[in-house]
Amino acid sequence: MAKQAGYIKLEGTMGDLTFYKNRDGKFIARRKGGVSKKRIQNDPRFQRTRENLKEFAVAASSAKFLKNAFREIELKSNGGKLHNRLYSTAMKVVKSDPVSP
């Protein structure tokens, strides 16, 4: 991933390049690309990807539920990284289930 080092700070899209500012305040540039959403949803070669996306969705919704339940604590926590920690823990719980696929 490219990082801008000069004085010109860009945000937005130009052609196939997207410029944005990340959470740390650094300006980043990246190219558009990847597999289309329709192909991931329908192509049999992406079956495992769809399974991983389902696991991700379960863990992310669990993290959101916990984050909303402890909204007051989250507001006083360190810079918006609580969701990432909750998601990481929820993902460990989802992967620890040996019975359900």
Distance set, CA 81 to CA 47, 64, 76 (Å): 31, 13, 11
Residues 21 and 49 placed together within one structural domain of the fold: no
Query: In this structure, is residue 57 part of a structural domain?
Result: yes
Task: Find, among 40, 37, 34, the residue nearest to 16 by Cα.
Answer: 34
pLDDT above 70 (res 78)? no
Residues 25 and 58 placed together within one structural domain of the fold: no
Note the pTM of the prediction, 2 decimals.
Answer: 0.56
What would the two tokens of residue 53 be? Answer: 């996306």
Name the more confident of 34 and 48.
48
**Residues 24, 28, 34, CA angle at the centre, nearest 5°?**
120
Residues 12 and 54 placed together within one structural domain of the fold: no
pLDDT above 60 (res 2)? no
Summarize the confidence of residues 40-55 as an average pLDDT. Answer: 93
Query: In this structure, is residue 101 part of a structural domain?
Result: no
Residues 26 and 49 placed together within one structural domain of the fold: no
Task: Find, among 24, 51, 29, 30, the residue nearest to 40 by Cα.
Answer: 51
Residue span of the structural domain in which 54 resides: 45-95
